[in-house]
Structure 1
Amino acid sequence: MPSIDAALNEVATTITRTLEQLLPAPEGAERRVLEAMRYACLGGGKRIRPFLVMMGSRLFDVNDISARRAAAAIEMMHCYSLVHDDLPAMDDSDLRRGRPTVHKEFDEAVAILAGDGLLTLAFEVLADPETHPNPAVRAELVLALAKAAGAAGMVGGQMIDLEAEKASLDIGAITRLQRLKTGEIIAFACVAGAILGQASEQARHALLAYAHDLGLAFQIADDLLDTEGTAATIGKPVGADSAAGKATFVALLGVERAREQAQLLARQAAAHLDLFDEKADLLREMAGFVVNRKH
């Protein structure tokens, strides 16, 4: 079995190639928005969400083309969220993945359109028969991602996050915020392979339990990086949440307790995968990776 770093690099290379195919070099009068979509998607990143889709798909022997297309769709969704998150009306960030953000490289109007384009293309890819021959499976994928990305998921979490600048949140409220803003998309990534493979309810529940703990561990690790990291190492501005007065896991728990909680959640996440034996070893390693990463 490859190391987690080697496996992540392999998936990142594969998904970047898939994204290049799904986002061909632009032509015509609309080329500027297509260039911005490619800029947003092809500028690096760890591809953690596609990795979860690919590894989950391998548990159920899903066709590689199906897995790659679903993984590319979730990365499009993720990149759209980053483009809009970075806008002046939201987090007002100038740097993402070590490069100027899309609205800085192009302009705000193009960035909005590029995000819209990636959002809709994600659903187009999932709904295409090439992703799966069974229309019921494609419909389930589209429905699951729509729920994860909308007002009951990522968009709702982002709204709470904006409100958090004007309110004092306790640990329960922050946990719910992050479950919606970050966790629901991670949950979709974890269960997408089970949907493609038409897996049992038991298998799906195990992956959702894994995703719940993984998503919280991931967010706590992000809060720690925002506190302890630098823009040079993580490729984006740091300290923004603190400057905006937002409550975070680190602000409430302190650095050491937050780190201990992240490690506990990572162990719990891995334990949910006992059902899959050694086939899930890379997913178990991912739980450790997200809390120990430096960028």
Structure 2
Amino acid sequence: MSITDSSLPFADWQKQCQQRVFTNLDKALPKHQNQSQLFNAMRYSALSPGKRLRPCLIYATADLLKISPHIADKLAIVIEIVHVYSLIHDDLPAMDDDDLRRGKPSCHKKYDEATAILAGDALQVLAFEWLCNLELKSDIIVKLCSELSQAIGAMGMAQGQALDMCWTNAPSMQPSLDDVREIHRLKTGKLFSSCIEMVLIVSENKKLVVALRKFAHHIGIAFQIQDDILDIIGNQELIGKKVGSDEKANKLTYPSLIGIEQSYTQRDYHYQQAIKCLTLLNLPTQENTYQPLSCYTRLMDVAKNMIYPAQ
């Protein structure tokens, strides 16, 4: 059974995915009130309007690999609240110091810094609680928890943010393209890769692992380069955050290192490599059977929308 209606135009399909995520988050997030603002802050950030790109990536991959809708829904909200947790913490004054997120005041501006920190902490832990409650074999749950912890921990997203801060306002240091690539791979790319990896773990598919991993790697890098570009030329109302914050903070980005034209070139290269990974899946297998390219169309749509949303 298909998780979403693959016959829909992409914009309608994406709205369908976004609505599924919103509905499931609304049901799953804690609601009961007490003296603190913790639950309100968690819900405020998690239920704010967003593109839900990572859940869309999960749904497209889950459809491809024939994952049950129930499991796909759970993985989608797990990834989404982990992403939201990272945004809450990234926006803090001690990190990127951003007052605007998804077109609304950042969590620490809506509430306060302490509440924002605790909301991020609680969302991260809640993601693992939801994984542990999945109706799957225990060894699969362990693999899912291990994958997510590696993606967002000291060897993943947290390290990427640490390196990002290390290079910020460091005039005596001479960064290279490898340095900015490493930041992007860890800070952004790891979570995109985890979307693919977690679906692969559930499906236990062996044939498509290499191609889908390479796809996730390249699309994660292309997305972050596009994000760097939008910080320079983007529309604040469309991207939902302040434009020019990276330059103001003297952050190490692709445009700051190689210029915006070369950034476009690098972005397009990684996007094209990602799509190439999917088109190669149309080659015959050892059994001389073909997987129709149409099976990967939705993944291609997601990739294109991530990198070229206006097209």
Normalising by structure 1, we get a TM-score of 0.95
Q: Is the 8 A contact 1:155 1:181 kept in 2?
A: yes
Residues 1:60 and 2:76 are matched in the alignment: no
Partners of 2:309 and 2:258 in 1: how far apart? 20
Equivalent residue number for residue 10 of structure 1: 16
Shift of 1:77: 0.3
| CA distance, structure 2, for counterparts of residue 147 and residue 24 of structure 1 | 26
1:126 and 2:120 are equivalent in the alignment: no
Specify the code of the residue in structure 1 equivalent to 2:165.
Answer: L
Q: Does the CA contact (< 8 Å) of 1:263 and 1:288 recur in 2?
A: no
Is 2:165 the counterpart of 1:162? yes
The one-character-per-residue Cα deviations of 1:58-113 (angstroms, maximum 9, x if unpaired) are 11211111110011000000000000111111111110000001111111111011
Partner in structure 1 of residue 288 of structure 2: none
Residue pairs, 1:241-256, within 5 angstroms: 241-256=246-261
Mapped contact 1:57–1:196 kept (Cα < 8 A):
no
Aligned counterparts of 1:136 and 1:29: Cα–Cα separation in 2: 39
CA distance in 2, matches of 1:154, 1:216: 13
Offset from partner CA, 1:115-146 (integer Å, 9 cap, x none): 00100000111111xx2321111111110000
Whether the 8 Å contact between 1:179 and 1:215 is mirrored in structure 2 is: yes
Paired with 2:97 and 2:60, the residues of 1 have a C-alpha distance of 34
Which residue of the partner structure matches residue 140 of structure 2? 137
The equivalent position to 2:231 in structure 1, one of 226, 244, 255, is 226
Secondary structure of the residue aligned to 1:206 is helix
Q: How many residues align?
A: 291
8 Å CA contact 2:92, 2:108 repeated in 1: yes
Flag the structure with larger Rg: 2
1:280 corresponds to which residue?
296
| Per-residue deviation, 1:177 | 0.9
The unaligned stretches of length 5 or more in structure 1 are: none
What root-mean-square deviation, in Å, do the aligned CA atoms of Structure 1 and Structure 2 show? 1.5
Partner of 1:266: 271
Distance 2:158 2:20 in 1: 28
Indicate the residue corresponding to 2:286 in structure 1. Answer: none
Q: 1:186 aligns with which of 167, 181, 192?
A: 192
Is residue 147–residue 197 contact of structure 2 (8 Å, CA) maintained in 1?
no
SS in 1 for 2:142: helix
Paired residue secondary structure (2:55):
helix
Task: Please state if 1:149 is matched with 2:152.
Answer: yes
Q: CA deviation at 1:293?
A: 2.2
**What is the percent sequence identity of the aligned residues?**
36
Task: Please list every run of 5 or more consecutive structure 2 residues that lacks an aligned counterpart in the other structure.
Answer: 1-6, 282-290
Distance 1:37 1:170 in 2: 38
2:51 is paired with a residue of what secondary structure?
A: coil
Residue 251 (structure 1) shift: 2.0
**More helix as a share of residues:** 1
